[in-house]
């Protein structure tokens, strides 16, 4: 997951007035690619908020080309990367796919991020997903995109729910990177156990805390209480909580309650397209069980349709020994080319 962006001011654009975040100020230079050009568009979510979209077209292309639709992460960071020398693993991955694939691409900034209207810290998942769906629908308006050759690449949180974005429209394949395919409750309990273990707590302390967290997250995620409301009812758990009283990781409590309500078993068992699941062996955000669940579900219904690929030593941010894992991009592109050749 990327870090939470900080808003610094306001700018008035021709098409909307929005908060300007640090990432936006840096991106005034706009993106430039060696082999692709960028167009800027917008879509509207269920709240009526205009959300910025980024569309790239490969240079010197003739006729229609395949396309990649990116579904982003959890945090309030822009999907626009004006710095070609970024050290952000997600940014390197995006930029290289854009420049090396020969495909068109489409991205979106969620509510309150970059030039998109709204306030990310208050935007729930329901309003965000309608933005992703509208952005996916916008693919149809670009005459250089081959609608029969679209791939969906989901990053981190976005890789878990990416089939919801397409609303059943046929695609050539899904690529899910560092994602989750179980319940958000299961993901969080495993994450808390791993976090406390990494902090050096004893096995006894970890087990006791996980028991408390099981009750905490049940009330928070399934019963609809905010973390603050849970702690008011159970003051004995106050020492466990490390985040805000009304949300977590910069997003409101409702966001995670709506993630918990998703049935990813149903979502992925209805996917008919091939699926590539990518995870780093040193990913401390999404566990092997989180990611592998996607491939297991798909293969249970459509044997052989999903491939699980774990890269030893790679982190959640696609780095190995603090360096971006260069083979990742050609591995993903080779898989896409195989799907175009066989379907």
Between CA 142 and CA 148, with CA 146 as vertex, the angle to 5 degrees is 130
* 102 and 55 in a common domain: yes
- Domains of the chain: total: 2
237, 259, 281 — which closes off a domain?
259
Report pLDDT for 60: 87
* CA distances to 45, 52, 119, 220 from 135, in Å: 9, 9, 18, 30
* 84 and 25 in a common domain: yes
Contact 227, 253 (CB under 8 A): yes
Report pLDDT for 340: 96
Q: Which two tokens stand for residue 140?
A: 């149809």
DSSP string, 93-138: HHHHHHHHH--EEEEEPPTTSTT-SS-GGG--HHHHHHHHHHHHHG
* 244 and 326 in a common domain: no
* 250 and 173 in a common domain: no
The residue segments making up the domain with residue 288 are 7-177+265-342
259, 279, 311 — which closes off a domain?
259
Q: What is the pLDDT of residues 244-267, one digit of tens each?
A: 999 999 999 999 999 999 999 999
Report pLDDT for 330: 98
Report the 10 Å Cβ neighbour count for 313. 11
* Within-domain flag for 278: yes
* 159 and 75 in a common domain: yes
218, 239, 259 — which closes off a domain?
259
* Within-domain flag for 136: yes
* 140 and 16 in a common domain: yes
* 336 and 280 in a common domain: yes
* Within-domain flag for 222: yes
* Within-domain flag for 1: no
* Within-domain flag for 293: yes
pLDDT tens for the chain, 343 residues: list them: 443 332 322 222 222 223 334 344 444 579 999 999 999 999 999 999 999 999 999 998 889 999 999 999 999 999 999 988 899 999 999 999 999 999 999 999 999 999 999 999 999 999 999 999 999 999 999 999 999 999 999 999 999 999 999 999 999 999 999 999 999 999 999 999 999 999 999 999 999 999 999 999 999 999 999 999 999 999 999 999 999 999 999 999 999 999 999 999 999 999 999 999 999 999 999 999 999 999 999 999 999 999 999 999 999 999 999 999 999 999 999 999 999 998 6
* Within-domain flag for 2: no
Between CA 245 and CA 252, with CA 251 as vertex, the angle to 5 degrees is 55
Report pLDDT for 28: 59
Bridge-based pairing state of the strands 323-324 and 319-320: antiparallel
Q: What is the CATH number of the domain that holds 143?
A: 3.40.50.1820
Q: What is the pLDDT of residues 102-150, one digit of tens each?
A: 999 999 999 999 999 999 999 999 999 999 999 999 999 999 999 999 9
Q: Which of 240, 153, 221 is nearest to 183 (CA)?
A: 221
Report pLDDT for 61: 86
* 19 and 137 in a common domain: yes
């Amino acid at each position: 997951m990327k870090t939470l962006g900080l808003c610094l001011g306001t700018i008035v654009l021709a098409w909307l007035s929005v908060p300007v975040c640090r990432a936006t100020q840096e991106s005034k230079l706009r993106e430039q690619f060696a082999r692709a050009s960028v167009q800027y568009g917008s879509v509207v979510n269920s709240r009526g908020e205009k959300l910025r979209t980024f569309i790239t077209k490969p240079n010197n292309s003739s006729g229609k080309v395949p396309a990649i639709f990116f579904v982003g992460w959890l945090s309030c960071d822009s999907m626009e990367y004006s710095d070609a020398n970024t050290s952000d693993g997600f940014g390197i991955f995006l930029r290289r796919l854009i420049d090396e694939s020969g495909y068109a691409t489409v991205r979106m900034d969620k509510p309150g991020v970059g030039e998109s209207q709204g306030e990310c810290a208050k935007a729930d998942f329901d309003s965000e997903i309608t933005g992703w769906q509208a952005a996916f629908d916008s693919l149809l308006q670009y005459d250089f995109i081959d609608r029969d050759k679209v791939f969906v690449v989901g990053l981190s949180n976005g890789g878990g729910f990416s089939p919801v974005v397409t609303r059943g429209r046929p695609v050539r394949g899904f690529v899910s990177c560092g994602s989750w395919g179980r319940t958000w409750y299961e993901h969080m309990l495993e994450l808390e156990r791993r976090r406390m273990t990494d902090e050096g707590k004893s096995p006894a302390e970890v087990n006791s805390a996980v028991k408390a967290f099981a009750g905490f997250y049940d009330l928070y995620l399934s019963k609809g209480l905010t973390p603050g409301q849970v702690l008011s009812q159970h003051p004995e758990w106050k020492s466990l909580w490390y985040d805000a009283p009304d949300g977590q990781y910069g997003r409101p409590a409702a966001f995670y309650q709506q993630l918990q309500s998703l049935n990813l078993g149903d979502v992925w068992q209805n996917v008919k397209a091939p699926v590539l699941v990518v995870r780093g062996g040193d990913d401390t955000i999404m566990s092997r069980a989180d990611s592998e669940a996607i491939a297991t579900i798909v293969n249970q219904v459509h044997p052989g349709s999903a491939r699980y690929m774990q890269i030893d030593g790679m982190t959640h941010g696609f780095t190995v020994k603090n360096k971006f894992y260069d083979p990742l991009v050609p591995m993903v592109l080779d898989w896409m080319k195989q799907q175009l050749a066989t379907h």
